Amino acid sequence: MKVIDAAALDYKTLNEALRQPEHSYVIQNCCGQRFIGAGMSDRDITIQGISGNALGAYLNNANITVNANAQDAVGDTMNAGKILIHGSIGDAAGYAMRGGKIYVRDHAGYRAGIHMKAYKDKIPVMIIGGCTGSFLGEYQAGGILVVLGLNASGRPIVGNFPCTGMHGGKLFLRGDFRNLKFPAQVTAAIATCEDLQEIMEDLKEYCEDFHYDLETILSSPFTLVTPDSKNPYKQMYVAN
């Protein structure tokens, strides 16, 4: 395991240090450097401190753990691997995410899961433990988003305009949110036991990572939101 003190490093120098032959790295004193782990494979990276924008962008089968908050665009266009955040994240997490997992202990900003999609046999999964901002799942085309609403402290767990332009994938909200104002192109219903089986292994893993009790989480109903096949989303733009 290689230890890197990032206090005096710019993001380019820090990322070059991660491209050495070692498999495991610990980054200490991280102070907002961008693109950490971008495009990397076969790496196990632990970050002490706050990571900058685009953490794990284009990630390929690597694991990143952040023992603090992370800024915008976590997992931008990631392909495989896992990003574990012991804090909150900024806007546009999982932008165009095509595979892998993002697990967040606390809250997420605007547009979590924007343009999220499934790629070939890869089904990306993002689980947010706390609350999310507006435009959750905007233009979601595939994959699975889960919002648990833990430690919400009375806040709504979903911001305004969820699922705008959603035309694929699934969104699971812990609680009964069937009366939430969703766009006409999606349907919301209480998830069945069969529906929950699809996310059960991920929920188990999430609970193990953050030391939550699975039975407690499952004691509340989940609302499943999916595109409405009878009233599909119509693309606003046509390619030339």
Interval 157-167: pLDDT, tens: 999 999 999 99
Distance separating alpha carbons of residues 202 and 1, to the nearest angstrom: 28
Tokens at residue 8, please?
């005096």
Mean pLDDT of the chain, nearest integer: 93
Its pTM stands at: 0.94
Nearest Cα residue to 208 out of 220, 219, 200, 197: 200
pLDDT of residue 83: 98
What pLDDT, in 10s, does the model give residues 166-177? 999 999 999 999
Question: What pLDDT score does 141 carry?
Answer: 93
Q: Region 124-130: what's the mean pLDDT?
A: 98
pLDDT of 51 higher than 80: yes
Average pLDDT score over residue span 139-143: 95
Question: pLDDT grade, residue 119 (50/70/90)?
Answer: confident
Instruction: Please tell me the distance from the alpha carbon of residue 240 to that of residue 234, in angstroms, as a whole number.
Output: 17
Query: Average of pLDDT values for 130-140?
Result: 96
pLDDT range class, residue 151, cuts 50, 70, 90 = confident
Is the pLDDT at 8 greater than 50, yes or no? Answer: yes
As a whole number of angstroms, the distance between CA 180 and CA 32 comes to 36
Residue 233 has pLDDT above 70, yes or no: no
Residue 85's alpha-carbon distances to 102, 104, 151, 229, in angstroms, are 8, 5, 16, 34
Please count the other Cβ atoms lying within 10 Å of the Cβ belonging to residue 213.
9
Residues 173/191, Cβ–Cβ less than 8 Å? no
pLDDT at 239 over 70: no
Number of Cβ atoms within 10 Å of the Cβ of 233: 20
Residue 62 has pLDDT above 60, yes or no: yes
